[in-house]
Chain A
Amino acid sequence: MPGLKQRAIELYGWFERRIGLAGPITEAAEHPVPSSSASWWYVFGSAAAVILVMQIVTGILLALVYTPSAGEAWNSLQFLNHDLLLGWFLRALHGWGSNFMIAIVLIHMTQVFLFGAFKFPRELTWIVGVFLLLMTLGMAFTGQVLRFDQDAYWGLGIGTSIAGRVPFIGAPLVHLVLGGPIIGGTTLSRFFALHVFVIPGILLGCVALHLWMVLHLGINEWPMPGRLVRKSTYVQEYASITHKTGIPFVPDAAWKDAVFAAAIILAIIASALFFGPIGPSGPPDPTIIQTAPKPDMVFLWLYALLAYLPPKLETPFLLIVPVLVIGGLVLLPLVAGEGEKHWSRRPVAVLMVMMIAVSLGALTRLATYVPWSPIMDAWSGDPVPPKFLERRTPLEHEGALVFQEKQCRNCHALDGVGGMRGPELDAVATRLTEDQLIRQVLQGGGNMPAYGSALSPPETTALVRFLETLNGNRIPARDPSRVLIRKSETVLKPHNESLTSASQ
């Protein structure tokens, strides 16, 4: 046995003499980190790196089968899902890995921001990190396109329509994105090249640089309120902290990274097992128009924003805001490279994080039930609830039919069922008088189309009679002048009758 051990050491020595990397690697692994940084808060970056490795491995395995051809991609995904042993599981791992990657990258970025880790001398580490975030989002979008289904097809249409809004170079930009005049064979191949070669290549280069800078500059120390960063003194202060409290990264700090990475990979495996692969939805056939396209989770907030922006503001917003946001993120460490690191002394930073998180969360939540979209089959699928039909006249019943048949229900809910584009109409008669109802139906306005050309006069009368019954058991809106006229009519009536009888 001792002979075997000796032989193994000799073999190792043979390789090491020729490669010579053991020294630098050991040195990097055992570099001292401040003991305060060996915290559970410092595990997100390494977790992102571990997910990246998993994405590369699962991505290569999927590429063994996936066919990047517009005519065959969808079929190859069906084959992976249904015909190939564990193909569904590999697709699920890759898809859920992508979701977890974005979540972890965002958490990592928030932690770095709140701990002031972007300040001197780690400005460039942050800036490279911003580009890593953009590339991660780029991977998510191109990956969604490779899942060449209905959502991918129309999602490309949305992306292209945004590109088409760029002034002057809109048309060439559209052709460059699509690789031609339409969404088709040439489009999918270029997104495949982007997803598999171009972005990962740049991404890996940036990850290497990002990691090298973390090693070279040392991990950020745990911030203390009142301990300010000054360019003149920081390097010395950091050296003294690591000298006094430093512990070797491996194993004293790295065990937490390793445990967290294992937990995250386990969570991805669990999601893949429980929720399965993401899509594909229907085939990428543009002639199937019975579809309501939606982007993946990551881009839902943008989908919601595009519904809520005022139309005239949309193009300037789409073209200017991304530049401002990316510019702001890149400039942040250069502008705020010194000073306080601790979150308790940086209220604006904390408020910004909260505001962005709440906005993105709210928009994402809204995009899960798209209140701005008509529900295309509400008119034929959701009948008028019986309580709105009880004790009504035949004309009012006819109005309820008109209400359904003219697709009013697609945008207006009754008893909580139906579209949310327009207001719910359960008690519309308490808000609008008869004349106002007629005007609103015929002329539209306030984001409602005019129905003047789609309704005959009897249909309009019946519809308005039905709408007038929707008063939620409260007092309906009345036009005061109309009330006066009715009163005067009843006062005059007997008088007129007496006049008529007198003349006879």
Chain B
Amino acid sequence: MNDLIQHSRRTFLMKIAILLNGIVGVFLAIPIIGYLLGPLLKKDSSYNYWTPLGSLDQFPVGETRLANYHNPVGVAWDGQTGTIPCWVRCVATGKFQVFAINCAHLGCPVRWFPQSKLFMCPCHGGVYYQDGARASGPPLRGLFQYSYKIAGDQLMIKAGELPTLSTQASVAKPEHSPCQG
């Protein structure tokens, strides 16, 4: 009888101990999960900042040129990955289109060919017209575009995020080329 009482008391204490560990576990798990999901809890808008791209005279009217910007939200040990290229097309004085370097298919770097006025992607053969509209190949849409503004003699773009189909540098989709046939 005495054994039975002792046994049930110890069993009870064991259950209390398990419960205690469960509570401590939850207390420990909440900050761990918060730490892991940290990159998710930031709002998208807090990733993109106005970033200088260079002075306006680097981008003559009618030309499309490669420009680099320093990523505004990087860390000190990003190294070379912190400097990101983009294509700047000056349509008319004060009017620009700034395209992400990343193909809208799977993110490879597109190259501009001024002679044929096409962007071509080396990975899976995505091709875009000079205004960024999809020309052929596997991409589902035109090139991603950054929002831009002119501050003094500087061209600024809103950048900071790798553009993919769900994280787009800009909501603006390029208009269709009139010569698409």
Contact = CB atoms under 8 A, between A and B. Distances in A.
A361 interface: no
Contacts of A386: none
B115 A406 contact: yes
Contacts of B108: 154, 157-158, 293
B80 A454 contact: no
Best-buried of A176, A307, A309 by chain B (most CB within 10 Å): A307
Interface stretch (A110-118, A166-174, A336-344, A391-399): A166-174
A290 B162 CA distance: 19
B127 interface: yes
A347 to B, nearest CB: 36
Determine chain A's interface SS by DSSP, over half rule.
Answer: loop
Interface stretch (A128-136, A207-215, A444-452): A444-452
Contacts of A376: 111, 120, 122
Interface residues of B, number: 63
A481 to B, nearest CB: 23
B167 A407 contact: no
A312 B42 CA distance: 31
A306 B79 CA distance: 30
A437 to B, nearest CB: 14
Interface stretch (B8-16, B22-30, B90-98, B137-145): B137-145
B105 interface: yes
A405 B115 contact: yes
B83 interface: yes
Given A161-B107, A444-B181, A182 B123 contact: no
Contacts of A165: 164-166
Given A153-B81, A185-B75, A443 B130 contact: no
A428 B164 CA distance: 38
B7 interface: no
Interface of A: 69-72, 74, 153-154, 157-158, 160-166, 170-176, 178-186, 283-287, 289-293, 303, 306-307, 309, 311-312, 314, 372-374, 376, 379, 405-408, 410-411, 421, 442-445, 447-454
3 nearest A-B residue pairs (beta carbon): A71-B79, A164-B164, A170-B166
25 contacts: A72-B79, A74-B79, A160-B162, A161-B106, A162-B106, A166-B166, A171-B44, A174-B164, A181-B167, A184-B78, A284-B80, A285-B81, A306-B105, A306-B106, A311-B138, A311-B140, A373-B122, A374-B120, A374-B125, A376-B120, A379-B113, A444-B180, A444-B181, A449-B129, A453-B129
